[in-house]
Amino acid sequence: MSSTMAAASPSVLIPPSSIFRKGTGGNVDRRNYSNSAVSLKCRAHQDSESNDLSVKVSRRWAALVLPVSTALGGVVASPRNSLSAEEQMQCADGNCGKVVLRTLSGCGLGVARYPDFVYNADGGGGSGESQELADGRTFVRFDPDQLKIPPVSMLTTTLLGLPLPPFLKIEIVPQNLEGYLERSTGKVELKFLAKFYFTVGTLYRAPPLVVNTVLTTEAVQGALRGGKGKRLDSSGNCKLVGVALVDPVDDLFMNTFLTLPTDCLAEMAAKITFI
């Protein structure tokens, strides 16, 4: 069988029994074959012809298995956040690198017509990949598994100048953060997808609120909410803002309390560093 055929059907292996042949000095017991040429070689003490058969079978079995294992190695799925195949080819030119995002204090979160939360996200962030594009922009993609954003809680957030009650918490679980920035102008636009989990101690946990928006250094405006970001400075500091329309969830209390669907404003003070 050719390596081309093996690559085309990597999940189909010819069973070892199909490549056995009788030696002139005796028969090989197929039932004791353990899918490996080693078990055949262990029978070499019976006679020299059986040993010759072991070598032949071993070579033929290796010829079948090696191309298939090579093909399987090329089919391994790339990580969810790795660059695409086209981008990986471009990366061969040395245009790719690493990028680090750090969230800072001075963040904010607003929902519907309620007063804004003043939110300190200092210490959060994560790492990702970057690629210099031919048009002068830089593509960045952050690994959501490594991207950590501190929860909205009494330790990080105030409302109307007062800390949140100790039993209230909003966990932010990023799902995706990727986009483009222009180093020459400081403009940044990142697609942001996250789930927000609102909890009241151990008594109540609402279904996740899905926030899907574009975080940008430019001005944004929704039906109820709006804001303006701040472009990257020479140190990599910026302010990203985004407005998302949050859809209703399967929870009457949450839908009523937040008047869903409604606008959600996210303001993120951040520092972006390339390494």
Quick check: pTM over 0.85?
A: no
The string of pLDDT tens digits covering residues 16-29 is 444 444 444 445 44
How many CB atoms lie under 10 A from the CB of residue 232? Answer: 21
Q: State how beta strands 96-103 and 107-111 pair.
A: unpaired
234 vs 253: CA distance, rounded Å: 46
Q: Are 156 and 181 in contact (CB under 8 A)?
A: no
Q: Given pLDDT bands bounded at 50, 70 and 90, which one contains residue 57? A: very low
79 vs 62: CA distance, rounded Å: 30
DSSP three-state, residue 59: helix
pLDDT at 212: 98
Q: Is the peptide bond before 261 cis (omega within 30 degrees of 0)?
A: yes
Query: 110 to each of 169, 229, 265, how far by Cα in Å?
Result: 15, 15, 5
Q: Are 192 and 214 in contact (CB under 8 A)?
A: yes
CB burial of 161-193 (b: ≥16 within 10 Å; e: otherwise) equals eeebeeebbbbbebebbbbebbeeebbbbbebe
What's the mean pLDDT in 143-148? 94
Mean pLDDT of the chain: 79
pLDDT at 10: 44
What are the residue ranges spanned by the domains of the chain?
Answer: 3-73, 85-274
Q: Is the pLDDT of residue 268 over 90?
A: yes
What's the mean pLDDT in 245-263? 96
pLDDT at 95: 82
Amino acid letter, 63: A
The string of pLDDT tens digits covering residues 185-243 is 999 999 999 999 999 999 999 999 999 999 999 999 999 999 999 999 999 999 999 99
List all residues 6 or more positions away from 236 whose beta carbon is below 8 Å from its beta carbon: 271, 272, 273
227 vs 72: CA distance, rounded Å: 50
Q: Given pLDDT bands bounded at 50, 70 and 90, which one contains residue 91? A: low
